Amino acid sequence: ESDVPVLADVSFEVAEGETVALVGSNGSGKTTLVKLITGLYAPTSGKVIVAGSLTTELDRGDFHRLVSVVFQQFDTYEATAAENIALGDWERLLDDDQAIEKIADDVGLRPLIDRLPEGFETELGRSFGSTALSGGQQQVFALARASARPVPIMILDEPTANLDTVSGTQVIDLIKELNQKDGQTVVMVTHEREYAMGCNRIIHMED
């Protein structure tokens, strides 16, 4: 209900298997655009098409099969370390310890989990209170959940915001690996110039 459109004259296409960086100053509409792509917002004008369908015609199940998302706001679930990964695709993973451990290995979580008091069975989250994770550690768990489900499109909103340079580089390398291995389409919001330069294309938003 703003007097001024949040987004105007924004038009682009992302090809299958492409990695695209969305860059721009704070308030330029990057996160709003991501929420439009994922169907969390409905456009008041214009249209957003994902995998050949208007987002306004897709239901939540369709989005779940097509898109995985990591936003800047994330948290640890009140659950074990294993369950915090499995919840990314809980119907398939909740009782599959081997698959959960493979995901942890793929995203570089294994060293952290091995240091936890009870490994994969360590209870995490505020209620349990026995083990506190840093923001960066929580972010890697969030990425593990997002990569747990095989989908054609991955949306990442500042995936390295809470990570140090080394950890951030590891996350970007993981994203590239997923893109190359599975042909996954990746749209990444980032303020990091070096990470944006590693993408196939950069879309710069302003005003």
Catalytic residues: 158
Q: Cα dihedral sign for 30, 205, 21, 48? A: positive
Q: Nearest Cα to 87, choosing from 141, 24, 41? A: 141
Q: CA angle at residue 41 from 4 to 64, to 5 degrees?
A: 160
Are the C-beta atoms of 187 and 34 separated by less than 8 Å?
yes
